[in-house]
């Protein structure tokens, strides 16, 4: 099943008594049933919704790739790893960031995640603890639970060995849609929300005047060209 996950807090080096949980971003992860995801971490406060294209802030982090999940163990927890096929903080060809953790289910759609990943403030891999809350999926009127489209050049999708320099992924789950594209040295990200009968841009921008074109991409049924890129629909699932 597709998921909509909002982060409530993050705590790097939780065993250090001088540190504490914080949340300085609007972090939203959209994940498809097959594990393809887009994770956007936008610095707070969010700008007012508009058609403005923003430059990419140095403290913003967005990445996309594949989720790998192990079967739950006796206590109900499960291990996860997330590949970073596209990453706004890491240039193509750079080593992929380590991003793996163990998920512990809590009450009321909340999950505690512990593991190790790169701290964007220090550039070092550190232990962390995150608290997440899953949002219930709603039908915006078109009956679509999840839609995923991919763009790449070269020999197919590769989220395993290295980040590619011409690659894009758009994931829509319910009323949310996010996309990220890296095209050479340029990278662009977008987040949209369905509100008041239409798609509203929450945040979009990147390095230059380009854009992802998320709203046009999620309308595709099989394949189509958006912003000069040939997108292929990988998943399109109706609400049951």
Per-residue model confidence as pLDDT tens digits over 201-233:
999 999 877 889 999 999 999 999 999 999 999
Give the model's pLDDT for residue 97.
77
Give the model's pLDDT for residue 193.
96
Instruction: Find residue 64's DSSP bridge partners.
Output: 38, 86
Sketch the domain layout of the chain as residue ranges: 3-134, 144-238
Give the model's pLDDT for residue 96.
75
**DSSP character string of 11-32:** EESTTSTT---B--EEEEEEE-
User: What whole-number percentage of the chain has pLDDT above 70?
Assistant: 94
Per-residue model confidence as pLDDT tens digits over 109-118:
999 999 988 8
Give the model's pLDDT for residue 163.
57
10 Å Cβ neighbour count for 93?
A: 9
Q: Which residue has the tokens 């597709």?
A: 2
Give the model's pLDDT for residue 51.
67
Per-residue model confidence as pLDDT tens digits over 16-59:
888 899 999 999 999 999 999 999 999 999 988 776 788 888 88
**DSSP character string of 213-239:** -HHHHTT-SSEEEETTEEEEEEEEEE-
Residue 165, CA distances (Å) to 80, 88, 151, 170, 187 in order: 25, 11, 11, 16, 9
Per-residue model confidence as pLDDT tens digits over 56-86:
888 899 999 999 999 888 889 999 999 888 9
Give the model's pLDDT for residue 219.
96
Q: Which H or E element spans position 128?
A: strand 125-134
- In this structure, whether the domain defined by 3-134 belongs to CATH 2.40.128.320 is answered with yes
10 Å Cβ neighbour count for 219?
A: 14
Q: Check for a shared fold between 3-134 and 144-238.
A: yes
Give the model's pLDDT for residue 158.
47
Per-residue model confidence as pLDDT tens digits over 144-159:
999 999 998 655 554 4
pLDDT at 161 over 50: no
Q: How far apart are CA 132 and CA 103, in angstroms?
A: 10
Give the model's pLDDT for residue 164.
65
State in words which class domain 144-238 has: mainly beta
Which pTM was predicted?
0.93
Give the model's pLDDT for residue 157.
52
């Amino acid at each position: 099943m597709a998921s909509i996950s909002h982060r409530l807090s993050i705590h790097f080096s939780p065993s250090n008594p001088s540190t504490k949980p914080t949340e300085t971003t609007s972090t939203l992860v959209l994940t498809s049933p097959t594990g393809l995801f887009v994770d956007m971490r936008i610095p707070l406060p969010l700008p007012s919704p508009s058609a403005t294209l923003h430059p990419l802030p140095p403290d913003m982090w967005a990445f996309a790739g594949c989720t790998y999940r192990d079967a739950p163990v006796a206590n109900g927890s499960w291990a996860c790893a997330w590949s970073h096929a596209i990453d706004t903080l890491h240039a193509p060809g750079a080593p992929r960031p380590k991003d793996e953790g163990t998920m512990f289910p809590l009450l009321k759609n909340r999950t505690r995640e512990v593991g190790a990943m790169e701290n964007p403030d220090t550039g070092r891999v550190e232990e962390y603890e995150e608290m997440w809350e899953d949002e219930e999926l709603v039908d915006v009127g078109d009956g679509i639970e999840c839609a995923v489209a991919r763009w790449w050049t070269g020999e197919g999708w590769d989220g395993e060995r290295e980040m590619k320099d011409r690659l894009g992924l758009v994931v829509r789950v319910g009323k949310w849609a996010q996309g990220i594209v890296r095209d050479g040295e340029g990278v662009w990200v977008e987040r949209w929300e369905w509100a008041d009968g239409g798609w509203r841009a929450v945040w979009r921008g990147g390095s230059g005047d380009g854009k992802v074109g998320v709203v046009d991409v999620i309308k595709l049924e099989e394949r189509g060209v958006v912003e000069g890129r040939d997108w292929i629909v990988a998943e399109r699932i109706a609400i049951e």
